[in-house]
With several copies, the nearest count.
Chain A
Protein backbone atom coordinates (compact mmCIF):
# COMPACT_ATOMS: atom_id res chain seq x y z
CA UNK A 1 0.00 0.00 0.00
CA UNK A 2 2.49 2.52 1.18
CA UNK A 3 4.73 1.51 -1.68
CA UNK A 4 2.30 2.72 -4.26
CA UNK A 5 1.31 5.84 -2.44
CA UNK A 6 4.66 7.24 -1.55
CA UNK A 7 5.88 8.27 -5.01
CA UNK A 8 2.59 9.98 -5.72
CA UNK A 9 2.88 11.97 -2.55
CA UNK A 10 6.45 12.95 -3.32
CA UNK A 11 5.54 14.09 -6.79
CA UNK A 12 2.69 16.25 -5.67
CA UNK A 13 5.06 17.62 -3.03
CA UNK A 14 7.49 18.62 -5.70
CA UNK A 15 4.74 20.29 -7.68
CA UNK A 16 3.60 22.16 -4.64
CA UNK A 17 7.14 23.30 -3.92
CA UNK A 18 7.50 24.47 -7.49
CA UNK A 19 4.28 26.43 -7.30
CA UNK A 20 5.30 27.89 -3.98
CA UNK A 21 8.59 29.18 -5.34
CA UNK A 22 6.70 30.65 -8.27
CA UNK A 23 4.50 32.45 -5.77
CA UNK A 24 7.54 33.76 -3.97
CA UNK A 25 9.02 34.98 -7.21
CA UNK A 26 5.81 36.88 -7.90
CA UNK A 27 5.88 38.31 -4.40
CA UNK A 28 9.42 39.45 -5.07
CA UNK A 29 8.31 41.21 -8.23
CA UNK A 30 5.49 42.86 -6.33
CA UNK A 31 7.98 44.04 -3.73
CA UNK A 32 10.11 45.64 -6.40
CA UNK A 33 7.07 47.37 -7.91
CA UNK A 34 6.13 48.79 -4.54
CA UNK A 35 9.67 49.94 -3.83
CA UNK A 36 9.91 51.52 -7.27
CA UNK A 37 6.81 53.60 -6.74
CA UNK A 38 7.86 54.36 -3.19
CA UNK A 39 11.18 55.75 -4.38
CA UNK A 40 9.28 57.91 -6.85
CA UNK A 41 7.04 59.25 -4.11
CA UNK A 42 9.95 59.96 -1.81
CA UNK A 43 11.83 61.53 -4.72
CA UNK A 44 8.98 63.94 -5.29
CA UNK A 45 9.13 65.07 -1.68
CA UNK A 46 12.85 65.33 -1.00
CA UNK A 47 15.87 65.51 -3.28
CA UNK A 48 17.45 62.12 -3.83
CA UNK A 49 20.77 61.47 -5.50
CA UNK A 50 18.83 59.98 -8.36
CA UNK A 51 16.40 61.29 -10.89
CA UNK A 52 12.94 60.02 -10.01
CA UNK A 53 11.14 61.91 -12.75
CA UNK A 54 8.78 60.11 -15.11
CA UNK A 55 11.44 60.26 -17.75
CA UNK A 56 14.07 58.26 -15.90
CA UNK A 57 11.66 56.20 -13.80
CA UNK A 58 8.30 55.87 -15.48
CA UNK A 59 5.36 54.71 -13.41
CA UNK A 60 4.70 51.00 -13.42
CA UNK A 61 1.31 51.58 -15.03
CA UNK A 62 2.92 53.70 -17.70
CA UNK A 63 5.13 50.74 -18.48
CA UNK A 64 2.15 48.41 -18.60
CA UNK A 65 0.41 50.78 -20.94
CA UNK A 66 3.53 51.00 -23.04
CA UNK A 67 3.63 47.22 -23.21
CA UNK A 68 0.14 47.09 -24.64
CA UNK A 69 0.73 49.66 -27.32
CA UNK A 70 1.56 48.66 -30.88
CA UNK A 71 5.26 48.42 -31.50
CA UNK A 72 5.20 50.93 -34.32
CA UNK A 73 2.11 52.87 -35.13
CA UNK A 74 -0.15 50.88 -37.35
CA UNK A 75 1.57 47.55 -36.78
CA UNK A 76 -0.58 44.87 -35.22
CA UNK A 77 2.05 43.47 -32.86
CA UNK A 78 2.15 45.08 -29.45
CA UNK A 79 5.36 45.89 -27.65
CA UNK A 80 4.57 43.06 -25.27
CA UNK A 81 4.21 40.54 -28.06
CA UNK A 82 7.44 41.66 -29.63
CA UNK A 83 9.21 41.39 -26.28
CA UNK A 84 7.80 37.96 -25.52
CA UNK A 85 8.82 36.46 -28.81
CA UNK A 86 12.26 38.05 -28.58
CA UNK A 87 12.56 36.74 -25.04
CA UNK A 88 11.89 33.19 -26.08
CA UNK A 89 14.33 33.38 -28.91
CA UNK A 90 17.07 34.79 -26.70
CA UNK A 91 16.38 32.17 -24.07
CA UNK A 92 16.92 29.45 -26.62
CA UNK A 93 20.19 30.92 -27.77
CA UNK A 94 21.29 31.55 -24.19
CA UNK A 95 20.60 27.97 -23.20
CA UNK A 96 22.63 26.79 -26.16
CA UNK A 97 25.48 29.01 -25.06
CA UNK A 98 25.03 27.83 -21.48
CA UNK A 99 25.30 24.19 -22.52
CA UNK A 100 28.46 24.84 -24.51
CA UNK A 101 29.86 26.97 -21.69
CA UNK A 102 29.19 24.28 -19.11
CA UNK A 103 30.89 21.68 -21.27
CA UNK A 104 33.95 23.86 -21.83
CA UNK A 105 34.05 25.01 -18.21
CA UNK A 106 33.90 21.46 -16.92
CA UNK A 107 36.57 20.32 -19.30
CA UNK A 108 38.86 23.14 -18.24
CA UNK A 109 38.20 22.49 -14.58
CA UNK A 110 39.01 18.83 -15.03
CA UNK A 111 42.23 19.62 -16.82
CA UNK A 112 43.21 22.16 -14.21
CA UNK A 113 42.35 19.85 -11.35
CA UNK A 114 44.26 16.99 -12.90
CA UNK A 115 47.46 18.77 -13.85
CA UNK A 116 48.79 21.34 -11.45
CA UNK A 117 50.73 22.85 -14.32
CA UNK A 118 47.52 23.79 -16.02
CA UNK A 119 45.91 25.04 -12.87
CA UNK A 120 48.78 27.45 -12.40
CA UNK A 121 49.35 28.07 -16.08
CA UNK A 122 45.85 28.18 -17.48
CA UNK A 123 43.87 29.82 -14.73
CA UNK A 124 45.35 33.28 -15.26
CA UNK A 125 44.28 33.08 -18.89
CA UNK A 126 40.83 31.92 -18.04
CA UNK A 127 40.59 35.02 -15.89
CA UNK A 128 42.25 37.21 -18.49
CA UNK A 129 39.75 36.01 -21.05
CA UNK A 130 36.96 37.52 -19.00
CA UNK A 131 38.47 40.97 -18.89
CA UNK A 132 38.76 41.20 -22.67
CA UNK A 133 35.85 43.38 -23.68
CA UNK A 134 33.58 41.98 -26.33
CA UNK A 135 34.13 45.05 -28.44
CA UNK A 136 37.58 43.67 -29.15
CA UNK A 137 36.33 40.18 -29.81
CA UNK A 138 32.92 40.40 -31.41
CA UNK A 139 34.14 41.49 -34.86
CA UNK A 140 36.80 38.80 -34.73
CA UNK A 141 34.33 36.10 -33.79
CA UNK A 142 31.76 37.16 -36.33
CA UNK A 143 34.45 37.57 -38.97
CA UNK A 144 35.99 34.17 -38.41
CA UNK A 145 32.66 32.50 -37.78
CA UNK A 146 31.16 33.58 -41.05
CA UNK A 147 33.86 31.73 -42.91
CA UNK A 148 33.06 28.47 -41.25
CA UNK A 149 30.81 26.02 -42.92
CA UNK A 150 30.68 22.44 -41.82
CA UNK A 151 29.25 20.38 -44.59
CA UNK A 152 25.88 21.79 -45.50
CA UNK A 153 25.67 23.74 -42.24
CA UNK A 154 26.58 27.31 -42.95
CA UNK A 155 27.63 29.38 -39.95
CA UNK A 156 25.29 32.20 -39.19
CA UNK A 157 25.55 35.07 -36.81
CA UNK A 158 23.27 33.37 -34.29
CA UNK A 159 26.02 30.82 -33.75
CA UNK A 160 28.41 33.66 -33.09
CA UNK A 161 25.99 34.97 -30.48
CA UNK A 162 25.81 31.54 -28.89
CA UNK A 163 29.56 31.33 -28.93
CA UNK A 164 29.88 34.68 -27.17
CA UNK A 165 27.31 33.57 -24.61
CA UNK A 166 29.33 30.46 -23.89
CA UNK A 167 32.44 32.60 -23.66
CA UNK A 168 30.96 34.39 -20.68
CA UNK A 169 29.30 31.29 -19.26
CA UNK A 170 32.28 28.99 -19.06
CA UNK A 171 34.22 31.11 -16.61
CA UNK A 172 32.11 30.99 -13.44
CA UNK A 173 31.57 27.34 -14.10
CA UNK A 174 35.21 26.45 -14.45
CA UNK A 175 36.13 28.31 -11.26
CA UNK A 176 33.31 26.72 -9.26
CA UNK A 177 33.86 23.30 -10.74
CA UNK A 178 37.56 23.45 -10.01
CA UNK A 179 36.83 24.24 -6.40
CA UNK A 180 34.25 21.48 -6.30
CA UNK A 181 36.53 18.91 -7.85
CA UNK A 182 39.01 19.68 -5.11
CA UNK A 183 36.35 19.33 -2.43
CA UNK A 184 36.41 15.60 -1.58
CA UNK A 185 37.90 14.77 1.80
CA UNK A 186 41.34 13.29 2.09
CA UNK A 187 39.86 9.97 3.20
CA UNK A 188 37.66 9.72 0.15
CA UNK A 189 40.57 10.42 -2.12
CA UNK A 190 42.65 7.85 -0.27
CA UNK A 191 39.86 5.34 -0.70
CA UNK A 192 39.89 5.79 -4.45
CA UNK A 193 43.67 5.68 -4.46
CA UNK A 194 43.60 2.42 -2.57
CA UNK A 195 41.50 1.01 -5.39
CA UNK A 196 44.11 2.20 -7.86
CA UNK A 197 41.21 3.95 -9.52
CA UNK A 198 42.18 5.68 -12.72
CA UNK A 199 41.94 9.47 -12.72
CA UNK A 200 38.90 9.14 -14.92
CA UNK A 201 37.22 6.82 -12.45
CA UNK A 202 38.07 9.05 -9.51
CA UNK A 203 36.58 11.90 -11.47
CA UNK A 204 33.36 10.16 -12.31
CA UNK A 205 32.75 8.31 -9.09
CA UNK A 206 34.09 10.76 -6.55
CA UNK A 207 35.03 14.23 -7.70
CA UNK A 208 32.00 14.98 -9.84
CA UNK A 209 29.42 13.88 -7.27
CA UNK A 210 31.33 15.63 -4.50
CA UNK A 211 31.53 18.83 -6.51
CA UNK A 212 27.76 19.16 -6.86
CA UNK A 213 27.40 21.64 -3.97
CA UNK A 214 29.88 23.90 -5.73
CA UNK A 215 28.66 23.12 -9.21
CA UNK A 216 25.13 24.24 -8.57
CA UNK A 217 25.87 27.86 -7.62
CA UNK A 218 28.42 27.95 -10.40
CA UNK A 219 25.74 26.89 -12.85
CA UNK A 220 23.42 29.58 -11.59
CA UNK A 221 26.03 32.24 -12.17
CA UNK A 222 26.89 30.68 -15.52
CA UNK A 223 23.32 30.64 -16.71
CA UNK A 224 23.01 34.30 -15.83
CA UNK A 225 26.27 35.00 -17.61
CA UNK A 226 25.02 33.15 -20.69
CA UNK A 227 21.95 35.36 -20.76
CA UNK A 228 24.05 38.47 -20.39
CA UNK A 229 26.34 37.19 -23.11
CA UNK A 230 23.46 36.51 -25.45
CA UNK A 231 21.96 39.94 -25.02
CA UNK A 232 25.29 41.70 -25.27
CA UNK A 233 26.21 39.73 -28.35
CA UNK A 234 22.86 40.43 -29.96
CA UNK A 235 23.54 44.09 -29.50
CA UNK A 236 27.14 43.78 -30.48
CA UNK A 237 26.51 41.90 -33.70
CA UNK A 238 23.14 43.42 -34.44
CA UNK A 239 21.50 40.07 -35.03
CA UNK A 240 17.75 40.39 -35.31
CA UNK A 241 14.97 38.78 -33.34
CA UNK A 242 16.46 38.68 -29.86
CA UNK A 243 15.77 40.77 -26.81
CA UNK A 244 19.16 42.48 -27.02
CA UNK A 245 18.37 44.04 -30.34
CA UNK A 246 15.00 45.18 -28.99
CA UNK A 247 16.59 46.75 -25.94
CA UNK A 248 18.91 48.87 -27.98
CA UNK A 249 16.27 49.78 -30.54
CA UNK A 250 13.89 50.84 -27.83
CA UNK A 251 16.66 52.57 -25.89
CA UNK A 252 16.97 55.05 -28.71
CA UNK A 253 13.42 56.07 -28.01
CA UNK A 254 14.18 56.54 -24.37
CA UNK A 255 13.78 60.28 -24.64
CA UNK A 256 10.33 60.08 -26.05
CA UNK A 257 8.83 56.86 -24.72
CA UNK A 258 10.89 55.65 -21.81
CA UNK A 259 8.39 52.95 -20.91
CA UNK A 260 9.23 50.92 -23.98
CA UNK A 261 12.82 50.29 -23.08
CA UNK A 262 11.83 49.24 -19.58
CA UNK A 263 9.51 46.67 -21.03
CA UNK A 264 12.37 45.33 -23.10
CA UNK A 265 14.67 45.27 -20.10
CA UNK A 266 12.04 43.33 -18.20
CA UNK A 267 12.02 40.93 -21.11
CA UNK A 268 15.74 40.49 -20.60
CA UNK A 269 15.14 39.94 -16.90
CA UNK A 270 12.53 37.36 -17.79
CA UNK A 271 15.10 35.48 -19.85
CA UNK A 272 17.32 35.49 -16.79
CA UNK A 273 14.56 34.27 -14.53
CA UNK A 274 13.59 31.49 -16.90
CA UNK A 275 17.22 30.43 -17.15
CA UNK A 276 17.51 30.48 -13.37
CA UNK A 277 14.36 28.39 -13.06
CA UNK A 278 15.80 25.81 -15.40
CA UNK A 279 18.97 25.62 -13.36
CA UNK A 280 16.94 25.40 -10.15
CA UNK A 281 15.12 22.41 -11.59
CA UNK A 282 18.48 20.89 -12.42
CA UNK A 283 19.62 21.63 -8.89
CA UNK A 284 16.69 19.74 -7.44
CA UNK A 285 17.54 16.75 -9.59
CA UNK A 286 21.22 16.86 -8.73
CA UNK A 287 21.00 17.32 -4.98
CA UNK A 288 18.03 15.04 -4.48
CA UNK A 289 20.35 12.43 -3.02
CA UNK A 290 22.19 14.62 -0.57
CA UNK A 291 21.24 15.09 3.06
CA UNK A 292 19.10 18.15 3.46
CA UNK A 293 19.98 20.60 6.14
CA UNK A 294 18.91 19.23 9.49
CA UNK A 295 15.50 20.51 10.42
CA UNK A 296 14.69 19.00 13.80
Chain B
Protein backbone atom coordinates (compact mmCIF):
# COMPACT_ATOMS: atom_id res chain seq x y z
CA UNK B 1 0.00 0.00 0.00
CA UNK B 2 3.06 2.19 0.21
CA UNK B 3 3.35 2.01 -3.56
CA UNK B 4 2.46 5.17 -5.36
CA UNK B 5 -0.49 4.75 -7.65
CA UNK B 6 1.54 5.82 -10.64
CA UNK B 7 3.95 2.89 -10.87
CA UNK B 8 2.52 -0.12 -12.73
CA UNK B 9 1.72 -3.23 -10.72
CA UNK B 10 3.84 -5.35 -13.05
CA UNK B 11 6.30 -4.32 -15.70
CA UNK B 12 8.15 -6.90 -17.76
CA UNK B 13 10.78 -5.74 -20.22
CA UNK B 14 12.42 -8.08 -22.68
CA UNK B 15 11.98 -11.08 -20.43
CA UNK B 16 13.41 -14.41 -21.58
CA UNK B 17 13.24 -17.66 -19.75
CA UNK B 18 15.25 -20.57 -21.07
CA UNK B 19 15.31 -23.84 -19.14
CA UNK B 20 18.38 -26.09 -19.28
CA UNK B 21 20.17 -23.56 -21.40
CA UNK B 22 22.90 -25.08 -23.50
CA UNK B 23 21.82 -28.62 -22.81
CA UNK B 24 20.14 -30.95 -25.28
CA UNK B 25 16.82 -30.61 -23.48
CA UNK B 26 16.84 -26.81 -23.70
CA UNK B 27 13.38 -25.24 -23.67
CA UNK B 28 12.68 -21.61 -24.36
CA UNK B 29 9.62 -20.90 -22.24
CA UNK B 30 9.48 -17.10 -22.59
CA UNK B 31 10.90 -15.11 -25.44
CA UNK B 32 11.46 -11.39 -25.30
CA UNK B 33 8.28 -10.72 -23.38
CA UNK B 34 7.06 -7.21 -22.64
CA UNK B 35 4.03 -6.57 -20.47
CA UNK B 36 2.64 -3.88 -18.24
CA UNK B 37 -0.15 -4.44 -15.76
CA UNK B 38 -1.55 -1.19 -14.51
CA UNK B 39 -2.26 -0.51 -10.90
CA UNK B 40 -5.69 -1.92 -10.05
CA UNK B 41 -5.92 -3.66 -13.39
CA UNK B 42 -7.22 -7.21 -13.94
CA UNK B 43 -5.25 -8.99 -16.64
CA UNK B 44 -6.04 -12.49 -17.86
CA UNK B 45 -3.33 -14.65 -19.42
CA UNK B 46 -4.47 -17.20 -21.93
CA UNK B 47 -2.60 -19.49 -24.27
CA UNK B 48 -2.03 -23.07 -25.25
CA UNK B 49 -0.82 -25.61 -22.75
CA UNK B 50 2.89 -25.32 -22.13
CA UNK B 51 3.24 -21.84 -23.62
CA UNK B 52 4.78 -20.33 -20.50
CA UNK B 53 1.93 -18.82 -18.52
CA UNK B 54 2.92 -20.40 -15.24
CA UNK B 55 6.52 -19.56 -15.96
CA UNK B 56 5.61 -15.92 -16.46
CA UNK B 57 3.73 -15.83 -13.15
CA UNK B 58 6.70 -17.46 -11.47
CA UNK B 59 9.06 -14.85 -12.86
CA UNK B 60 6.76 -12.08 -11.62
CA UNK B 61 6.64 -13.76 -8.22
CA UNK B 62 10.44 -14.07 -8.14
CA UNK B 63 10.16 -17.84 -7.78
CA UNK B 64 12.47 -18.23 -10.72
CA UNK B 65 14.76 -15.76 -12.40
CA UNK B 66 14.35 -14.45 -15.90
CA UNK B 67 17.24 -15.62 -18.05
CA UNK B 68 17.35 -12.17 -19.60
CA UNK B 69 15.36 -8.97 -19.21
CA UNK B 70 13.95 -7.16 -16.22
CA UNK B 71 10.83 -7.62 -14.18
CA UNK B 72 9.44 -4.89 -11.97
CA UNK B 73 6.63 -5.32 -9.51
CA UNK B 74 5.01 -2.27 -7.93
CA UNK B 75 8.03 -0.21 -8.89
CA UNK B 76 10.38 -2.58 -7.09
CA UNK B 77 12.46 -5.48 -8.34
CA UNK B 78 10.65 -8.78 -8.26
CA UNK B 79 12.81 -9.90 -5.35
CA UNK B 80 12.01 -6.82 -3.29
CA UNK B 81 8.34 -7.15 -4.05
CA UNK B 82 8.39 -10.75 -2.85
CA UNK B 83 10.26 -9.82 0.27
CA UNK B 84 7.80 -7.05 1.00
CA UNK B 85 4.91 -9.38 0.25
CA UNK B 86 3.45 -7.18 -2.44
CA UNK B 87 1.65 -10.13 -3.98
CA UNK B 88 -0.26 -13.25 -3.07
CA UNK B 89 -0.15 -16.32 -5.26
CA UNK B 90 -2.49 -19.22 -6.00
CA UNK B 91 -0.60 -22.06 -7.62
CA UNK B 92 -1.69 -24.40 -10.36
CA UNK B 93 -1.21 -27.32 -7.96
CA UNK B 94 -2.99 -26.91 -4.66
CA UNK B 95 0.26 -27.69 -2.76
CA UNK B 96 -1.47 -28.20 0.57
CA UNK B 97 0.40 -29.56 3.56
CA UNK B 98 -0.75 -33.01 4.53
CA UNK B 99 0.25 -32.45 8.12
CA UNK B 100 -2.12 -29.55 8.57
CA UNK B 101 -5.87 -29.61 8.66
CA UNK B 102 -7.77 -27.68 6.02
CA UNK B 103 -8.23 -24.73 8.33
CA UNK B 104 -4.61 -24.61 9.37
CA UNK B 105 -3.55 -24.75 5.74
CA UNK B 106 -5.53 -21.57 5.17
CA UNK B 107 -4.01 -20.05 8.28
CA UNK B 108 -0.45 -20.57 7.07
CA UNK B 109 0.17 -17.16 5.49
CA UNK B 110 -1.40 -15.46 8.50
CA UNK B 111 0.83 -17.43 10.81
CA UNK B 112 3.83 -16.23 8.84
CA UNK B 113 2.68 -12.68 9.32
CA UNK B 114 2.40 -13.22 13.04
CA UNK B 115 -1.37 -12.87 13.24
CA UNK B 116 -2.70 -14.06 16.60
CA UNK B 117 -4.22 -17.47 17.00
CA UNK B 118 -7.87 -16.61 17.36
CA UNK B 119 -7.78 -13.93 14.66
CA UNK B 120 -6.18 -16.45 12.35
CA UNK B 121 -8.80 -19.03 13.03
CA UNK B 122 -11.61 -16.54 12.55
CA UNK B 123 -10.23 -15.29 9.25
CA UNK B 124 -9.62 -18.83 8.01
CA UNK B 125 -13.16 -19.89 8.84
CA UNK B 126 -14.50 -16.82 7.05
CA UNK B 127 -12.55 -17.76 3.93
CA UNK B 128 -13.58 -21.41 4.14
CA UNK B 129 -17.15 -20.19 4.43
CA UNK B 130 -16.61 -18.24 1.23
CA UNK B 131 -15.32 -21.29 -0.65
CA UNK B 132 -18.08 -23.35 0.98
CA UNK B 133 -15.80 -25.66 2.85
CA UNK B 134 -16.47 -24.65 6.43
CA UNK B 135 -17.71 -28.19 7.13
CA UNK B 136 -14.33 -29.55 6.18
CA UNK B 137 -12.22 -27.24 8.33
CA UNK B 138 -11.02 -30.12 10.48
CA UNK B 139 -10.34 -32.58 7.65
CA UNK B 140 -6.97 -33.45 6.20
CA UNK B 141 -6.21 -32.39 2.62
CA UNK B 142 -6.14 -35.92 1.24
CA UNK B 143 -9.73 -36.40 2.35
CA UNK B 144 -10.87 -33.72 -0.06
CA UNK B 145 -11.82 -34.01 -3.70
CA UNK B 146 -9.65 -32.30 -6.32
CA UNK B 147 -11.95 -29.30 -6.60
CA UNK B 148 -12.19 -28.93 -2.85
CA UNK B 149 -8.41 -28.89 -2.54
CA UNK B 150 -8.24 -26.19 -5.14
CA UNK B 151 -10.75 -24.12 -3.23
CA UNK B 152 -8.69 -24.46 -0.07
CA UNK B 153 -5.69 -23.18 -2.02
CA UNK B 154 -7.74 -20.20 -3.21
CA UNK B 155 -8.83 -19.45 0.33
CA UNK B 156 -5.21 -19.58 1.38
CA UNK B 157 -4.12 -17.17 -1.33
CA UNK B 158 -6.74 -14.69 -0.18
CA UNK B 159 -5.88 -15.01 3.50
CA UNK B 160 -3.56 -12.05 3.51
CA UNK B 161 -4.37 -8.88 1.71
CA UNK B 162 -1.62 -8.07 -0.80
CA UNK B 163 -2.06 -5.38 -3.47
CA UNK B 164 -1.33 -7.86 -6.29
CA UNK B 165 -2.85 -11.31 -6.81
CA UNK B 166 -1.21 -13.87 -9.10
CA UNK B 167 -3.58 -16.73 -9.82
CA UNK B 168 -2.68 -19.77 -11.91
CA UNK B 169 -5.82 -21.51 -13.20
CA UNK B 170 -7.42 -21.25 -9.80
CA UNK B 171 -10.87 -22.30 -10.92
CA UNK B 172 -9.76 -25.05 -13.31
CA UNK B 173 -11.14 -27.97 -11.35
CA UNK B 174 -14.44 -26.36 -10.34
CA UNK B 175 -17.85 -27.06 -11.73
CA UNK B 176 -19.60 -24.30 -13.60
CA UNK B 177 -21.84 -23.17 -10.75
CA UNK B 178 -19.11 -23.00 -8.17
CA UNK B 179 -16.87 -21.37 -10.68
CA UNK B 180 -19.33 -18.58 -11.35
CA UNK B 181 -19.75 -18.02 -7.65
CA UNK B 182 -15.99 -17.85 -7.17
CA UNK B 183 -15.64 -15.49 -10.11
CA UNK B 184 -18.14 -13.12 -8.58
CA UNK B 185 -16.44 -13.36 -5.21
CA UNK B 186 -13.14 -12.48 -6.84
CA UNK B 187 -14.64 -9.49 -8.60
CA UNK B 188 -16.23 -8.34 -5.35
CA UNK B 189 -12.94 -8.57 -3.52
CA UNK B 190 -11.19 -6.72 -6.29
CA UNK B 191 -13.77 -3.96 -6.26
CA UNK B 192 -13.59 -3.58 -2.51
CA UNK B 193 -9.82 -3.57 -2.28
CA UNK B 194 -8.66 -2.23 -5.65
CA UNK B 195 -6.18 -5.08 -6.09
CA UNK B 196 -4.28 -5.68 -9.30
CA UNK B 197 -4.74 -9.23 -10.55
CA UNK B 198 -2.91 -11.42 -13.04
CA UNK B 199 -5.02 -14.45 -13.76
CA UNK B 200 -4.17 -17.49 -15.85
CA UNK B 201 -7.08 -19.40 -17.32
CA UNK B 202 -7.96 -21.69 -20.18
CA UNK B 203 -11.55 -20.54 -20.28
CA UNK B 204 -12.12 -17.74 -22.76
CA UNK B 205 -15.47 -16.67 -21.24
CA UNK B 206 -13.85 -16.60 -17.82
CA UNK B 207 -10.98 -14.47 -19.09
CA UNK B 208 -13.37 -12.05 -20.72
CA UNK B 209 -15.82 -11.96 -17.83
CA UNK B 210 -13.17 -11.19 -15.27
CA UNK B 211 -10.57 -9.02 -16.89
CA UNK B 212 -9.86 -5.62 -18.26
CA UNK B 213 -7.41 -7.04 -20.74
CA UNK B 214 -6.86 -10.53 -22.08
CA UNK B 215 -3.25 -11.29 -22.93
CA UNK B 216 -2.95 -14.03 -25.52
CA UNK B 217 0.24 -16.04 -25.68
CA UNK B 218 1.65 -18.17 -28.46
CA UNK B 219 2.89 -21.71 -28.12
CA UNK B 220 6.52 -22.35 -27.34
CA UNK B 221 8.55 -20.22 -27.32
CA UNK B 222 6.04 -18.19 -25.32
CA UNK B 223 5.43 -14.71 -26.68
CA UNK B 224 2.55 -12.30 -26.39
CA UNK B 225 0.75 -12.32 -29.68
CA UNK B 226 -2.36 -10.39 -28.85
CA UNK B 227 -3.82 -8.19 -26.20
CA UNK B 228 -7.56 -7.76 -26.23
CA UNK B 229 -9.16 -4.94 -24.28
CA UNK B 230 -12.43 -5.78 -22.64
CA UNK B 231 -14.69 -2.95 -21.57
CA UNK B 232 -17.77 -4.41 -19.99
CA UNK B 233 -18.04 -2.11 -17.00
CA UNK B 234 -19.38 -3.58 -13.78
CA UNK B 235 -20.07 -7.29 -14.17
CA UNK B 236 -23.44 -8.68 -13.21
CA UNK B 237 -25.89 -11.47 -14.05
CA UNK B 238 -26.50 -10.01 -17.47
CA UNK B 239 -22.94 -9.46 -18.51
CA UNK B 240 -22.61 -12.94 -19.92
CA UNK B 241 -25.53 -12.25 -22.24
CA UNK B 242 -24.08 -8.92 -23.34
CA UNK B 243 -23.29 -8.38 -26.99
CA UNK B 244 -19.85 -6.98 -26.15
CA UNK B 245 -19.12 -10.04 -24.07
CA UNK B 246 -19.64 -12.31 -27.06
CA UNK B 247 -17.59 -10.03 -29.25
CA UNK B 248 -14.68 -10.15 -26.87
CA UNK B 249 -14.98 -13.91 -26.56
CA UNK B 250 -14.86 -14.27 -30.30
CA UNK B 251 -11.89 -11.95 -30.54
CA UNK B 252 -9.93 -13.95 -28.02
CA UNK B 253 -10.88 -17.22 -29.64
CA UNK B 254 -9.72 -16.00 -32.99
CA UNK B 255 -6.50 -14.72 -31.56
CA UNK B 256 -5.92 -18.13 -30.07
CA UNK B 257 -6.79 -19.98 -33.26
CA UNK B 258 -4.53 -17.71 -35.21
CA UNK B 259 -1.85 -18.70 -32.78
CA UNK B 260 -2.26 -22.32 -33.46
CA UNK B 261 -1.91 -21.63 -37.13
CA UNK B 262 0.91 -19.23 -36.31
CA UNK B 263 2.04 -16.56 -38.65
CA UNK B 264 2.68 -12.91 -39.21
CA UNK B 265 -0.95 -11.83 -39.62
CA UNK B 266 -1.36 -12.10 -35.87
CA UNK B 267 1.81 -10.32 -35.00
CA UNK B 268 0.55 -7.21 -36.70
CA UNK B 269 -2.54 -7.20 -34.53
CA UNK B 270 -0.58 -6.27 -31.48
CA UNK B 271 -0.15 -2.90 -33.00
CA UNK B 272 -3.88 -2.33 -33.01
CA UNK B 273 -4.24 -2.66 -29.26
Contacts and interface: CB of A to CB of B under 8 A. Distances in A.
A186 B142 contact: yes
B82 A193 contact: yes
A196 B82 contact: yes
A205 B142 contact: no
Interface in B142-164: 142
Which interface class (under 10, 10 to 19, 20 to 34, 35 or more) fits B?
20 to 34
Nearest to A198: B112
B58 A190 contact: yes
B122 interface: no
Contacts of A296: 62-65
A291 B95 contact: no
A190 B112 contact: no
Given A188-B97, A212-B99, A291-B140, A205 B112 contact: yes
A3 B26 CA distance: 11
B99 A209 contact: yes
B108 interface: yes
A205 B84 CA distance: 20
B246 interface: no
A9 to B, nearest CB: 8
Given A6-B23, A186-B142, A296-B65, A290 B98 contact: yes
Contacts of A194: 61, 63, 82, 87-89
A20 interface: no
B261 interface: no
A243 B100 CA distance: 43
Given A187-B93, A190-B91, A205 B61 contact: no
Interface in B116-161: 140, 142
A194 B167 CA distance: 12
Contact of A289 (B26, B85, B98): B98
Contacts of A193: 62-63, 82
Please report whether the interface of chain A is mostly helix, strand, loop or mixed according to DSSP.
Answer: helix
B24 interface: yes
Interface in A188-218: 188, 190-191, 193-197, 201, 205-206, 209-210, 212
B146 to A, nearest CB: 10
Contact of B91 (A191, A209, A289): A191
A193 B83 CA distance: 9
Nearest to A4: B24
Residue of B61, B84, B99, B140 contacting most chain A CB atoms (<10 Å): B99
A291 B142 contact: yes
Which interface class (under 10, 10 to 19, 20 to 34, 35 or more) fits A?
20 to 34
A210 B100 CA distance: 11
Nearest to A189: B63
A191 B95 contact: yes
Contacts of B97: 188, 205-206, 209
A197 B93 CA distance: 19
B125 to A, nearest CB: 19
A187 B91 contact: yes
A289 B138 CA distance: 12
B237 to A, nearest CB: 34
B22 interface: yes
A2 B112 contact: no
A188 to B, nearest CB: 6
Interface string A1-29: 01100100000000000000000000000
Contact of A2 (B24, B61, B98): B24
A195 B83 contact: no
A201 B111 CA distance: 9
Contacts of A201: 112
A228 B21 CA distance: 46
Given A205-B112, A290-B98, A196 B63 contact: no
A196 B89 CA distance: 11
A265 B190 CA distance: 69
Nearest to B20: A6
Interface string B94-119: 01011110000000110110000000
Interface in A208-232: 209-210, 212
Contacts of A197: 112
A196 B91 contact: no
B214 to A, nearest CB: 24
Contacts of B62: 193, 296
A209 B63 CA distance: 22
Given A197-B112, A296-B63, A188 B95 contact: yes
Given A194-B88, A201-B112, 16 more contacts: A6-B22, A6-B23, A187-B93, A187-B95, A190-B58, A190-B63, A191-B95, A193-B63, A194-B82, A196-B83, A196-B84, A196-B85, A205-B112, A209-B100, A289-B98, A296-B65
27 contacts: A2-B23, A6-B22, A6-B23, A6-B24, A185-B95, A187-B91, A187-B93, A188-B95, A190-B61, A190-B95, A191-B95, A193-B63, A193-B82, A194-B88, A194-B89, A196-B82, A196-B85, A197-B112, A201-B112, A205-B108, A289-B99, A289-B140, A290-B99, A291-B98, A291-B142, A296-B64, A296-B65
Interface of A: 2-3, 6, 185-188, 190-191, 193-197, 201, 205-206, 209-210, 212, 289-291, 296
